[in-house]
Amino acid sequence: MKNMKEIEDIITKAIKKVNGNKENDLCRYIPGSTGGYLHHFTLKKMKLRQPTELCSLLEKFIINSEKPTRIPPKQRAARGSRKKKDQYTFSRSQLEKMIHLARATGNKEIITMLAPKKSLASCKRELIASIRQGKADQDLWNSYMEIVLASDSSNETSSLGSPALANR
């Protein structure tokens, strides 16, 4: 095993050969195990924990090489790659136009898909206002019932978590 002075000499020699300024500049000339070049954290760890292996890598890829070659970085996923390819994004005005067209054609399925979900309070207000006007809107009543049933089921689920209420 080499002592720290010998390791520092090899690192300094390698830095000069690649015309670098610091140890991290060496990373781009040493291949990593998963493709691309060696990460700078790995280089620091190797310097402390596996100095002989680091020295052999430096000698193999930089010092004994006539012209050390920079290793290209490993391929990474493009930014926004988590986005679904077949999913469309619409501006607010485009969405409002589509809702308007769906209402004009009477397509209730598309309206429920595109229209924003209403809160229980706003749904109650609209339902009371329509009753005061003497109109019975079945869709409004259905959406009110869905909200009430959804809130009841979520309340039951959360209340079952407490030991006192679990044995109803």
pLDDT per position as a tens digit, 47-103: 999 999 999 999 999 999 888 889 988 887 777 656 666 777 888 889 889 888 988
What confidence score (pLDDT) does residue 165 get?
45
Can you list the alpha helix ranges (DSSP code H) found in 50-137? 51-58, 92-105, 108-114, 120-132
What tokens were used for 150?
């959804």
Looking at the DSSP assignment, which residues form a beta bridge with residue 31? 37
Q: Hey, is 17 helix, strand or coil? A: helix
Q: Which residues contact 133 (CB under 8 A, 6 or more apart)?
A: none
Q: Which residues contact 110 (CB under 8 A, 6 or more apart)?
A: 98, 102
CA distance 151 to 146: 9
Classify the C-alpha dihedral 91-94-98-99 as positive or negative.
positive
pLDDT per position as a tens digit, 31-48: 988 888 999 999 999 999
Q: What is the pTM of this model?
A: 0.46
